[in-house]
Amino acid sequence: MKNYLFTFLLFVVSFLSGQENYTINGYIADANDGESLIGATVFIREISGGNATNVYGFYSITIPPGEYTIEYRYIGYTTQIKTISLRTDQRMDVELVSDQVVLEAVVVTAEPEDVNVSGVEMSTAEMSIETIRKIPSFLGEVDVIKSLQMLPGVSSVGEGSSGFNVRGGSVGQNLVILDEAPVYNTSHMLGFFSVFNPDAVKDVKLYKGGIPPKFGGRIASILDIRMKEGNSKKMEANGGIGSIFSRLAIEGPLKKERSSFILAGRRSYIDVLAKPFTDALDGGAALYFYDLTAKANYNFSDQDRLYLSGYFGRDVFNFDESQGINWGSKTLALRWNHLYNQRLFSNLTFFVSDYDYELAFGDDNLDRFEWSSNITTLNFKSEFTYFINPESELTFGGEVIKYQFEPANAKGVSLGEVTKFDLPNKHALEYALHVGNEQKIGDKTTVLYGLRFSGYDFLGPGNYFEFGDTLAGFRPSVDRVSTAKKGVSIQNYLNLEPRVSMKYSLTTSASVKASYNRTVQYIHLISNTTASNPLDIWTPSTNNLQPQIGDQVAVGLFKNFKDNDFETSAEIYYRETQNQSDYIDGAELFINEEIEGDLLSGIGRAYGFELYAKKNEGRVTGWVSYTLAKTELKIDGVNFQENQETREGKWYPARYDQTHNLKVAAFYELNARTSLSANFSYLTGTPTTFPTHRYEVQGMTIPENANDSRNNLRIPDYHRLDFSITRQGRKVSKKGKVRKNQDSWVITFYNLYNRKNPFSIYFAQQDERYQPGELPVTEGRQVSILGSIVPSFTYNFHF
């Protein structure tokens, strides 16, 4: 495989070095603060083509010598037109001016991009941070993940779930990367807020399908979040004071226009505010989260840029000084951009990521229980882009990830007697090589094709198990426990992941796109609870637990109307997955070394139809997105219904299967300083399992589902309306001076019509003391996490 790649490269390089072409390249940045612009268009009129900047703001176009007129465009910025006479390689770094400048009249933006029609990407959703800021949010806190849920194909099972679902995939099937480093738990406070501080985020892109070869490792989606570099021209402070938490971000140059940094932090204080109102928080009890996002970068030369970014965040629930639970992540990434020559751009990343959670209870050192678990990864990634010519771009690279899983470090102290119950660590290595080519063929067709070759080793030191046979759904016995030494490969998996996407232009404003990708996922998020939560366990593939494999096909039609004022698209997708996990009844996932024995394996399928219509211009803007979809699993031992003897499973809906998913987002510019926004969500109720009977054994009343079915009914539908008003502060003070502080006030009403959206339905007996012979009363109960309107008030400032 490696030889093939090298030969191919040599061929390309030698073929092209014979041509007499020259390269225009450079970085495109914001004139105001020096932030590089991702996805900015460089359009060369004479060839009716060009390129877009990559995630670092870099572009490169190689063409024959001549006179050219180049348009540099980016949505929200004024287009710049430059004429050049190309006789030699030229470096053109460009700064674009934002046109979100004060105007008394309605703000006019630059001509909207038609990239949704002309680009070969499909099944992606890109949201600018400006749009994210406008969406009314829970407690007035702008949220990246919640905003993405307003797009087709993206949903969640409701408040309280610490993740999101993409095209019928589970929460653990999304890869979320922050400046290339993976984030294992993307939420604070059980899903109410995401870990991404909007003051530090520059760009958010979600790949739901048509995943390019440079990404891999998860089945359902890739969420690529890029942080700002920090204002390289002057110091800037952004922040907000809200009802639940406050934020402050400071950014500025370390060396003007060469080096900058950004430091953004948030801390919640609801526990401090609530203290006078409840005594549940006396005695050292605390409930808060904080996060710190930091980045620094240095442009050594025209060819070299170095970036260092980090994230540190934590959620804390303490019952008193010595008892409580907490969890959090730390990541650190070091990246180096290097231009090998005018056309070869490379990025090398080295990062470390740690996600851990701990639980402690017991008042003193004589009687105590402490448990912690974590997953640490070390990753090295290299990515090369070779800008061959305006019609063709080659990407290639590789990645190595070293995992260390500590499933449990636990200690119990009883009367001073210490018992340790640590589970041994697990180790794994995941690696991949990828190559891809984006090729324009003629005027109308673009194809992106490539191959990702991925591999995985479950490594020693550690134990591994072989289980006996059993009827599906029952815990098998352990036949053998073996130990592997350090570095020995206990199990190896190798996979080829072909990727192909294509676009065909029907007209200048309409195109049809299709894609196929195979993705493989080697680590699994194990959860047997109703919704994912921070205590869910990441577990590696082993000799028993096989990697998940997904094959997705998508076809879409994209059409823009009225000069890109309206964007519409319709897309259908179908994804089949293998090696999907579910659990035996009564699975023990907490401190269980033989956890694989409690897992059942089967297949899944998800398919759907997504419709999207967006209005970009005018005083009223916004979008409507509707998804009709189904996601189901077929696993022996689960939902076997009448197959009582073989226990062969029948197809059943996944816990996050939501048939209808309708989202409407609307923004209205009332005047130059005031804007209103609203969003409406409607989701079909998620599936759940109901009992049919009850029976008594030794005084215990036990529920029974005599149909042996799973997720056979649905909880009631979810719908919610949010509304917010944003009022910008004056730009010019009453005395006529320009105000240094650009501030705004935001009032938000979440769940405007007060609906108690159900989260789950469970069945239990009433909590009474029953006399012997008296039978308990059993009830069905519907749980809502949020049952009322939540108003909030936030003050944002910007210096």
- Write out the binding residues for other proteins, residues 453-512 only, by CB under 8 A: 474-475
CA distance 225 to 177: 6
- Residue 656's nearest CA partner among 678, 627, 680, 636 is 627
Here's the x/- map for other proteins, 717-756, by CB under 8 A: it reads as ---------------------------------------x
Among 358, 588, 669, 717, the residue binding other proteins under the rule CB under 8 A is 588
**Is residue 762 within the footprint of other proteins (CB under 8 A)?**
yes
Q: List the x/- string, 262-291, binding to other proteins by CB under 8 A.
A: ------------------xxxx-x-x----
CB of 620 to other proteins, least distance (A): 35
Interaction between residue 783 and other proteins (CB under 8 A): yes
Which residue type, as a one-letter code, is found at position 511? S
Between residue 288 and residue 317, which ones bind other proteins under the rule CB under 8 A? 317
**Residue 412: helix, strand or coil by DSSP?**
strand
In the bound complex, what is the minimum distance in angstroms from residue 760's beta carbon to other proteins?
Answer: 5
Considering only residues 528, 542, 578, 674, which one is a binding residue for other proteins as defined by CB under 8 A? 528
Q: Which single residue is written with the structure tokens 């797009």?
A: 151
Q: In this structure, are residues 420 and 413 in contact, taking their beta carbons and an 8 Å threshold?
A: no
Stretch of 175-183, 524-532, 624-632, 657-665 contacting other proteins, by CB under 8 A:
524-532
Using rule CB under 8 A, residue 647 touches other proteins:
no
Residue 76 or 716: the one with the smaller Cβ distance to other proteins is: 716
Helix, strand, coil abundance in the chain, percent, nearest 5: 5, 55, 35
CB 247 within 8 A of CB 199: yes
Judged by CB under 8 A, which stretch of 119-127, 180-188, 528-536, 743-751 contacts other proteins?
A: 528-536
Stretch that binds other proteins, among 50-58, 124-132, 292-300, 582-590 (CB under 8 A): 582-590
- Span 696-715, contacts to other proteins by CB under 8 A: 696-710, 712-713
Closest CA to 433 of 220, 216, 223: 216
Task: Give the CA angle between residues 40, 42, 43 to the nearest 5°.
Answer: 135
Contact in structure between 331 and 293 (CB atoms under 8 Å): no
User: Is residue 372 close enough to count as binding other proteins by CB under 8 A?
Assistant: no
Q: State how far the alpha carbon of 136 is from the alpha carbons of 140, 517, 791, in Å.
A: 7, 35, 11
Name the one range near other proteins by CB under 8 A: 177-185, 503-511, 563-571, 580-588.
580-588
d(CA 405, CA 403): 6
**Which residue's CB is nearer to other proteins, number 284 or number 487?**
284
Give least dist CB 400 to other proteins, A: 32
The span from the CA of 393 to the CA of 12, in Å, is 11
The type of residue at 136 is: P
* Residue list 406-435, contact with other proteins (CB under 8 A): 408, 412, 414-415, 417, 419-421, 423
For the chain, the residue count is: 799
Helix or strand holding residue 601 (H, E): strand 599-615
Q: How far is the CB of 491 from other proteins (least distance, A)?
A: 23
Size, binding site for other proteins by CB under 8 A: 97
Q: Which of 141, 180, 593, 657 binds other proteins (CB under 8 A)?
A: 593
User: Rule CB under 8 A: is residue 160 a binding residue for other proteins?
Assistant: yes
Q: Which two tokens stand for residue 485?
A: 């030494």
Q: Which is nearer to other proteins, 591 or 676 (CB)?
A: 591
Indicate the SS3 state at residue 200: coil
Q: Based on CB atoms, which residue is closest to other proteins, 195 or 285?
A: 285
- CA-based nearest residue to 76, from 59, 56, 55, 97: 97
Distance in Å, CB of 689 to other proteins, minimum: 4
x/- site string to other proteins, residues 615 to 644, per CB under 8 A?
-----------------------------x
CA distance 650 to 630: 15
- First vs last C-alpha separation in the chain: 53
- Cis geometry, peptide bond prior to residue 716 (ω within 30 degrees of 0): no
Nearer to other proteins, 552 or 760 (CB): 760
Task: Give backbone dihedrals phi and psi of 118, rounded to 5 degrees, phi first.
Answer: -85, -25
Q: How far is the CB of 472 from other proteins (least distance, A)?
A: 12
